[in-house]
């Protein structure tokens, strides 16, 4: 049975390219074996991640991620059983939300800077869908 988990968190230190790269590298090394796919978005000091896969695999990986000291304030925004993956083409795609079009961000947000901690999980998921459809997700690696 497949599930999708969407969460947001705050980086412990201001986000640097190297930090995101090292997380993506770990994800791409581990996720194929776990059957997990998804997307890692970042904006300012905020991470937004979607994890898709079997319930055990997603929950166990999530528990590991929550303990990671590179971020804190981990908040689950949505957790659903799903009939099919949406991000199955990515072992872990990436998108820099602060570089996304203002029109897309404003469509789902009260302010021009997207804040998943105050908005609804559904609005955050809708933004990610739009990023997917507009081709803003990079590093397709499967
Ligand atoms: C925001 C965030 C997202 C992460 N996403 C993943 C992921 O999708 N897959 C993964 O294996 N590790 C991910 N990690 C890293 C894990 O917390 C952990 O460091 C890693 O799984 C350890 O794997 P390793 O022993 O192979 O280095 C993430 C960490 C952070 C801070």
pLDDT in tens, 56-106: 999 999 999 999 999 999 999 999 999 999 999 888 898 888 877 888 889
* Percentage of the residues of the chain whose pLDDT score is greater than 70: 97
Q: Which is nearest to 139 in space by CA: 63, 3, 31, 65?
A: 31
**Residue ranges of domains in the chain, CATH in brackets:** 2-133 (3.30.70.100)
pLDDT above 80: residue 141: no
pLDDT above 70: residue 29: yes
Atom 26 (ligand 1) nearest CA: 26
Report yes or no: 6 and 121 within 8 Å, Cβ to Cβ.
yes
Residues 52, 88: Cα–Cα separation, whole Å: 8
Within 10 angstroms of residue 94's Cβ, the number of other Cβ atoms is 18
Q: Which is nearest to 47 in space by CA: 7, 100, 3, 87?
A: 7
Gyration radius from the chain CA atoms: 14
Pocket of ligand 1 (CB under 6 A): 9, 23, 26-27, 29-31, 40, 47, 49, 61, 64-65, 68, 70-71, 92
The residue-averaged pLDDT of 22-44 equals: 94
Q: Quote the ligand 1 centre to 54 CA distance (angstroms).
A: 17
Q: What is the pLDDT of residue 142?
A: 35
């Amino acid at each position: 049975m497949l599930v999708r988990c969407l969460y947001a968190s705050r980086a412990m230190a201001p986000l640097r390219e190297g930090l995101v790269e090292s997380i993506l590298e770990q994800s791409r090394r581990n996720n194929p074996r776990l059957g997990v796919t998804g997307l890692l978005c970042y904006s300012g000091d905020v991470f937004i991640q979607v994890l898709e896969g079997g319930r055990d695999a997603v929950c166990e990986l999530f528990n590991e991620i929550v303990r990671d000291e590179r971020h804190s304030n981990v908040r689950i925004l949505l957790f659903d059983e799903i009939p099919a993956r949406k991000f199955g083409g990515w072992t872990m795609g990436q998108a820099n939300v602060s570089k996304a079009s203002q029109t897309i961000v404003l469509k789902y947000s009260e302010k021009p800077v997207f804040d998943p901690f105050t908005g609804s999980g559904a609005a955050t998921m809708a933004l990610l869908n739009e990023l997917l459809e507009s081709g803003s997700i990079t590093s397709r690696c499967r």
